[in-house]
Chains A and B, each alone.
Chain A
Amino acid sequence: MTTRTTLLFTLCIASLVGLLAALAVLVGPANANKDPVTPQQLKAYEDAFMEQVKKGDLLFHGDAATAKQMNVVLSNTGMACAMCHPFASDTHPQAFPKYQASMNKFATLRDMINWCIEKPNQGEKIDSDSDAMKALEAYIYWSNSGSVLVPGKY
């Protein structure tokens, strides 16, 4: 508690109003029970995300074992997503949602993923809340994570 004592002492000299405000922040409500996030927790959250990114990467690159395990048929032409989108380029997740001319509708990234599965790949459309969809979305966003958000851009 050394830090807090020193800080409070300094604030006492400053002003009474300042002291009261500082106390409220430092002490918090009597029933507070939340701890700051720990490095272990952060790692676990990051791992949970990267697990999806890896699955999505494999699906995106046509890995047959992963597709089978997740019970999806993303292509029937031998084509995989990455064959037109190396490093998930030209997927432009940062531009969704937008009016998508090829579908003639206002579309989300998930709509677009399903369009590619059904049209060029001639695969089977996947449920938009499915694990495979979330994994594909995770990989595409992760790959493009340096890009700037431009929702609606053609």
Chain B
Amino acid sequence: MSELDRERRELAAVLQRPGVHPDPSLRLTRRTFIHRSCLTGAATVAQTFAWWPLLNTIDVAYAAEEPFKFAWVSDTHLYPKSVNTRFVEKVQRAAREVQAMSPPADFMIFGGDLAQLGRANELELGVELLNEVKIRKVFIPGEHDWYYDMGAKWKQLFDKPNWTFDHKGVRFIGLDTVTHGPDYWTARKMSPEERMDHMATLDGSVAGPWAGVGRDQLDWMQKTLADWDKARPVVIFSHNPLYEYYPPWNFWVRDWREVNEVLKPYLNVTNIHGHVHQVLYNEIGTMRSIGMLATSWPWPYAPEGVPKLTKPMIRADPGDFYDGVGWETLSMKNDRIETEYIMWGRKEVFVQSPPDSSLSQPEILRPRIADQIWPY
């Protein structure tokens, strides 16, 4: 059994115990895409496809004091304008659309990877473009923002990479899952550029399992939640998913066991994350997890590990730079949170039949080889 298989089995054994789901009082509404057949057992691809209704929203039940909306934008991966204006235009579009929301969103969360190569001018460009958004903005970092100057510029612009606030009966936590990477650069005497280049290669092996929450932040999160009613809603923003999906691309946090230990007593936890550049949905223990689109480009689904509860998004047309990407509004009203994916230029965000999905063509892939031997 491979290391990955072992980890995955452990995840299932530890977290996906029978009968344990987010918030037992949770009411899955008629509009939800999660079907009973997916919740109770292994559905084959064919079965899963057969069950998907034609819906573009994720509905889950929960109790906010009064209805409100917030917007999520992430993974803009900005280069300087001289290199690439395509990504700039997409941020402008997202900013315009967020600002035009009516009624306005209460706040916007930026979920990381503002810059592509962590340069000061890329981060500053991001700030400038997002100035169009006049509502309150909060930021968490992505790995692309951090590893050129180890967060110096990011902290100057956005202050702390983790934070918490309460809003209309919901406790929001911004978690930093990117700054606790193991040191792969000192022994190899890397320049800041080289360090950043390895971090910026999603399928590279040099930066290793960099995604993690870290003991210090786990303790902070535990303290932050200590005075919070266990039945009240908690929303956790993170760049990486807080469960294990596909470690070779850091579609996980390596300390997901500890995260689960801290969150276990809380019955109503929603994790909203970026980094994967794709639609994802999962339930792990008492936490539900929702993956957000990038504005820059979509990542394909990993060759294995896609959560059974995920209804895949459409296979993007590579000739259309506005396909497979976009932003999200999340509304909390009465007893539920509803996610609306705004995928530019697409009538249907989710696949309608197997040929719509890259998953309909199974792949068996090998990890890359050259970054292990050249030049290191």
Q: Which residues of A contact B (CB under 8 A)?
A: 50, 53-55, 57-58, 61, 63, 77-79, 82-90, 92, 95, 102, 116, 119-120, 142-148, 150, 153-154
B366, A54: Cβ atoms closer than 8 Å: no
- What's the nearest-Cβ distance from chain A to residue B358, in Å? 5
Binary CB contact string for chain B from 120 to 148 against chain A (1 if under 8 A, 0 otherwise): 00000000000000000000000000000
Please name the 4 residue pairs, one residue from A and one from B, whose CB atoms are nearest each other, closest first: A146-B364, A86-B203, A57-B370, A90-B300
Residues of A within 8 A of B303 (CB): 87, 89
A77-B83 contact given A85-B300, A86-B249, CB 8 Å threshold: yes
Query: Is chain A's interface secondary structure helix, strand, loop, or mixed overall?
Result: loop
Residues of B within 8 A of A57 (CB): 368-371
| Alpha-carbon gap, A56 to B298, bound state (A) | 23
A58, B370: Cβ atoms closer than 8 Å: yes
Q: Which residues of B contact A (CB under 8 A)?
A: 79, 83-84, 86, 116, 201-204, 248-249, 297-300, 302-303, 317-319, 321, 355, 358, 361-371, 373-374
A88, B369: Cβ atoms closer than 8 Å: no
A-B contact pairs, 26 of them (CB 8 A): A53-B369, A54-B369, A61-B201, A61-B204, A61-B370, A77-B84, A78-B84, A82-B203, A86-B202, A86-B203, A86-B249, A86-B299, A86-B300, A87-B248, A88-B365, A92-B363, A95-B361, A102-B319, A116-B318, A119-B319, A120-B318, A120-B319, A120-B321, A143-B368, A146-B363, A147-B362
| Residue of B whose beta carbon sits closest to that of A112 | B318
Residues of B within 8 A of A54 (CB): 369-370, 373-374
Residues of B within 8 A of A85 (CB): 300
B364, A78: Cβ atoms closer than 8 Å: no
| Residue of A whose beta carbon sits closest to that of B315 | A90
Residues of B within 8 A of A55 (CB): 370
Residues of B within 8 A of A145 (CB): 364, 366
A92, B300: Cβ atoms closer than 8 Å: no
| Alpha-carbon gap, A69 to B292, bound state (A) | 39
A84, B362: Cβ atoms closer than 8 Å: no
B201, B302, B321, most chain A CB atoms within 10 A: B201
| Alpha-carbon gap, A88 to B368, bound state (A) | 9
| Residue of A whose beta carbon sits closest to that of B277 | A84
Residues of A within 8 A of B362 (CB): 147-148
Residues of A within 8 A of B373 (CB): 54
Residues of B within 8 A of A95 (CB): 361
| Alpha-carbon gap, A146 to B367, bound state (A) | 12
| Alpha-carbon gap, A144 to B361, bound state (A) | 12
| Alpha-carbon gap, A90 to B297, bound state (A) | 14
A143, B365: Cβ atoms closer than 8 Å: yes
B367, A154: Cβ atoms closer than 8 Å: no
